[in-house]
Amino acid sequence: GESVGLHLPTLSVQEGDNSIINCAYSNSASDYFIWYKQESGKGPQFIIDIRSNMDKRQGQRVTVLLNKTVKHLSLQIAATQPGDSAVYFCAEKTSYDKVIFGPGTSLSVIP
């Protein structure tokens, strides 16, 4: 597949370790946040989301943390697997307004 982000921040982790991907969002009025995973040659795929009235939400092997004070979002992936290798994007949304995506982070899992 084609590379979609030639200048992305890159995170390399060993298989089985936990991964933490960070995101600084731009609008203090944003009240809905989403993490997407994009594999090479494919469109972004929803992973997990969180509303601004929460500071933590857990899914299967993934956890999202929200710190509104410093406008920071993180995605934690437990027991990272080779299939987790992809580009990860955070996105923010304000009510019925536009969606703003972050620049993305490339996760590389070392077997």
Partner 1 sequence: EAQVTQNPRYLITVTGKKLTVTCSQNMNHEYMSWYRQDPGLGLRQIYYSMNVEVTDKGDVPEGYKVSRKEKRNFPLILESPSPNQTSLYFCASSLSGGLGQPQHFGDGTRLSIL
Binding site for partner 1 (CB under 8 A): 2-8, 31-32, 34, 36, 41-46, 49, 51, 89, 91, 93, 95-96, 98-104
Q: How far is the CB of 15 from partner 1 (least distance, A)?
A: 27
Q: How far is the CB of 56 from partner 1 (least distance, A)?
A: 16
> What are the C-alpha distances in Å from 72 to residues 5, 11, 60, 75, 92?
22, 18, 22, 10, 11
Q: What is the distance between the alpha carbons of residues 1 and 48, in angstroms, rounded to a whole number?
A: 24
- If you search the block for the tokens 């995170």, which residue do you land on? 11
Q: Of the two residues 14 and 28, which places its CB atom closer to partner 1 in the complex?
A: 28
